[in-house]
Structure 1
Amino acid sequence: MQLAELRRIRLHVQGLRAVRAGAITDVVRDFVAVQSQEFVPAQWGLAMRVPAGPDRPDLAGVTAALDRGEILRTHVLRPTWHFVDPADARWLMELSAERVHRANATYYRRTGVDGETGVRALDVVAASLEGGHRTRAELAAALGAAGQPSTGLGFTYVLMLAELERVAISGANVGKQRTYAAFDERVPASAPKPREEALVELAARFIRSRGPVTDRDFAAWSGFTLGDTRRAFAAVVAGDGGGGSGSGGPAETIEIDGATHWHDVETTASALDAPPPLTGTVDLLQAYDEYIMGYAARRSYLLPDGIEAVHAETSLHALMIDGVMAGRWAPVVQPKRAVVRLVPWRTFSADEERGLAASVAEVERFLGVPATIERVEFGTDPQG
């Protein structure tokens, strides 16, 4: 298999070319966890995978789903934000919390939230959340009154500790302020999964939603070791999908670009049987989109000629043409208007310009305010 075929399959599997989900909740459930550091761009990343039309939610619609707890946002798998389905939140946290704690250990010590201090801080957070959803400011006030870390990194790591210990998780917005809620209020009770079973389910769903993938892709995305990854992948190939929803059909290996990749046979066949996508298709992806961050560097499948590596950026997002990076973009959102900044890396064809205009129009509809385009002509350093 060549990189062009790999790109075609991944675009299909990721819901960027084929209808894979009818609602944003389906998107999150299919992906198991969706990286979401940049809150508004991450919501766009969900919405754009729902077919364009009246059923594709705008920003207000995605935020409302988060407020209702249909999608949750928390630190899981790695020390970073992810969207997760409520039905998956508990076992994902049980599976990965130990490794995230280990990654955070140095910062716990530096900020003084380890040991007994951390336990006392968790008690304060839990007591505060018994009264309802709390903003960061309200939790900071409660922690400060109890003599616990309430500012800076110490406060940040108290909140992450509360998430990992299944005390807190995302709550409903209060105006434009995000809140925390009691974990057990928003996450349904469920029996614990044995570690190996949970890891195999995670691997099976990862292969199905992002394949073909390498073992290093899963290790980089999930935070688990290559040893864990290879055992889990072997179990998936042996037919043990972990018993979870969406665990998929049989998995096999295939060689691509000199590396072994695992893929879900049924999903790959569906992608290759589908009509070839139109050329000149433009995707305005958020920087941490799963099409980018679901795989380990150097991500050669999305690299244009002359670029050695592409890294996620918070200030500029990924302008893709036919699944390959062709520039950067960024939405600058104000209460009544927005600016879509475009930094193309090359001259676009007429078809590509039409595709770009259509994608900008979809971003405008999602934001719910008029958007103007600010264009920086190509010639800017692509790595900058």
Structure 2
Amino acid sequence: MTPSHIAALRLHNQQIARTRFEQPHELVAWLGAAQGQDYSGALWSLGLRLPGSTDTQIEQALLDRTIIRTWALRGTLHLVAAADLRWLLDLLAPRVLAGSALRLRQLELDEQTLTRSNRLIANAVSDGQPHSRTELFALLEANGISTQGQRGYHMLIRASWEGLICQGVAVRNVPTFLALDQALPPGKKLARDEALAELAGRFFTSHGPATLQDFVWWSGLTVGDARAGLEAVKRELTQEAVDEQTYWFPPSLSDPEHVDGTLYLLPGFDEYLLGYRDRNAVLDPQYTSRIVPGGNGVFYPTIVSNGRIVGTWKRSIKKGGVFIGAQPFTSLAPAEEAAFAVAAQRYGAFLGLPVTLGQA
């Protein structure tokens, strides 16, 4: 299995090269979870996998609460299917909460303060209405709890991990928060071993070919828990050894062996890159700093051609449309330039805006 074959299978299984779904919540459930750090990018991450969809339609799924944006895998923001949120929290929260202890001490957030902040936040959202981060921070400050220096941010995370709140639709790029129990009906409960198997099955089916180490990275689970999940589902998967690594992926007679040559514009933080610890199959390591300048954790949107990440792109929305510019690692071939224009038009259609190519 060559890097090109790995890329082709990932494009296929991640629903980028083709899709089997029509609804955002079906797609998110298939993926297990989708990176959600950047709000507009998260909408496009689903939109590019649902051809013909618009940002309004994806956002409607958030309004309808069939998908939820909250802190999930690795303690970072993700989109998850509403039906999966509760069992994911049950499975993942204990490890993340334990891992946050040092940072909370650094911020001088003790359990007494967090209990108070949880109570204030829960009371505020109990009216069933969305409340902005700004509102909740003001409430905490008015009650003598400082939100400075990331304290407010970590109090919202804590309330989310304890199942008190979840995010609603962002308003002017400011997140809003809802009472989880009012936003969602009771979800299914899974025993721990069932949850591990469920998460592993979804990851390797939707992200494969992938390794155990990729699953550990993506999920935030311990190696032992990740291995237990894989053991429970590996009979349903195909495996292949490449360079002393074992890759797991779903068996299918229709899987492609070669990338179809289509060029894609992916948002920053997309699963195609962030879903794996080892990204060498799709990205030459020498270009990593072009995608994450300074290693600051902020991933730029990427251009994918023939399964490989070949550059980054920028967009700026101005009066009358969206301006999109390419920043390739090396010069794009004429066919790639034409394909970039097609992909840019697809993104413009998603936003409902005319596209101008050039410097964004």
> So what's the TM-score if we normalise by structure 2?
0.92
- Indicate if the aligned counterparts of 2:86 and 2:188 stay in contact, CA closer than 8 A: no
Paired position in structure 1 for 2:38: 38
Residue in 1 aligned with 2:56? Answer: 60
Q: Does 1:211 align with 2:208?
A: yes
Residue pairs, 1:1-384, within 5 angstroms:
1-51=1-51, 56-131=52-127, 132-174=129-171, 177-238=174-235, 250-266=236-252, 269-272=253-256, 277-279=259-261, 281-297=262-278, 299-304=279-284, 307=287, 312=292, 314=298, 316-334=300-318, 336-375=320-359
SS for the counterpart of 2:314 is strand
Normalized against structure 1, the TM-score is what?
0.86
**Structure 1: distance between partners of 2:230 and 2:175:** 37
The farther-off stretch of 121-130 and 191-200 is 191-200
For residues 301-358 of structure 1, the C-alpha deviation after alignment (integer angstroms, 9 at most, x for no partner) is 1134965787546363111101101111122224643221211122222321221110
CA distance in 2, matches of 1:227, 1:338: 47
Letter in 2 for 1:68: D
Structure 2: give runs of 5+ residues left out of the alignment.
none
Q: Which has the higher contact order (CA 8 A, sep 6+)?
A: 2
> CA separation in 2, counterparts of 1:308 and 1:326?
11
Change (3 A) 1:175 1:68: farther
Structure 2 distance, partners of 1:95, 1:13, is 25
CA distance in 2 between partners of 1:272 and 1:352 (Å): 21
User: Percent same amino acid at aligned positions?
Assistant: 30
Whole-Å separation in 2 of the counterparts to 1:290 and 1:167: 27
User: Which residue identity lines up with residue 160 of structure 1 in the other structure?
Assistant: I
Distance in 2 separating the partners of 1:17 and 1:35: 18
Distance (Å, rounded) in 2 between the aligned partners of 1:326 and 1:174 = 33
For each residue in 1:206-226, what CA deviation from the matched residue of structure 2 results, as whole angstroms up to 9, or x when unmatched?
111111110000000001111
Could you say if the C-alpha distance between residues 336 and 69 of structure 1 is closer, same or farther in structure 2, counting changes exceeding 3 Å? farther
Matched position secondary structure for 2:358: strand
Structure 1: tracts of 5 or more residues without a match: 239-249, 377-384
Change (3 A) 1:303 1:173: closer
Aligned to 1:242: none
| Secondary structure of residue in 2 paired with 1:287 | coil
